[in-house]
Amino acid sequence: MQLNIRFLKAAALAVSKEETRYYLKGVAVQADAKGAYLIATDGHRLLAFCQSRECYGGEPINIIIPADIVAGVKLNKHVEIAELTQESATHWRLDYVGTSVIFAPIDGTFPDWRRIIPKETDGKPAQFNPAYVGDFAKVTKALGQGQTAFAYNGDGPALVTFGDDIDGFGVLMPMRIKREIPTRAPAWATV
How many structural domains compose the chain? 1
> Is 57's pLDDT higher than 80?
no
103-124 pLDDT, tens digit per residue, is 999 999 999 999 999 999 999 9
Cβ-based burial of 134 (10 A; exposed 0-12, middle 13-18, buried ≥19) = exposed
Contact in structure between 4 and 143 (CB atoms under 8 Å): no
What's the domain range around 95? 2-172
* CA atoms of 101 and 96, how far apart (whole Å): 9
Residue 190 has pLDDT above 90, yes or no: no
The span from the CA of 46 to the CA of 26, in Å, is: 12
Residue 52, pLDDT > 80, answer no
Q: Which string of DSSP letters, residue by residue, matches 6-55?
A: HHHHHHGGG----GGGGGGSEEEEEEETTEEEEEEE-SSEEEEEES-SSP
pLDDT band at 59 (very low <50, low <70, confident <90, very high): confident
pLDDT score for 53: 60
Please choose, from the candidates 16, 72, 68, 70, the residue with its C-alpha nearest in 3D space to the C-alpha of residue 38.
70
What's the CATH code of the domain at 133?
A: 3.10.150.10
Share of the chain above pLDDT 70, in %: 98
| SS3 call for 161 | strand
Give the predicted TM-score (pTM) of the model. 0.90
Tell whether 180 is covered by a domain.
no
Q: Of 1, 2, 15, nearest to 142 (Cα)?
A: 15
Residue 121 CA, distance from chain mean position:
19
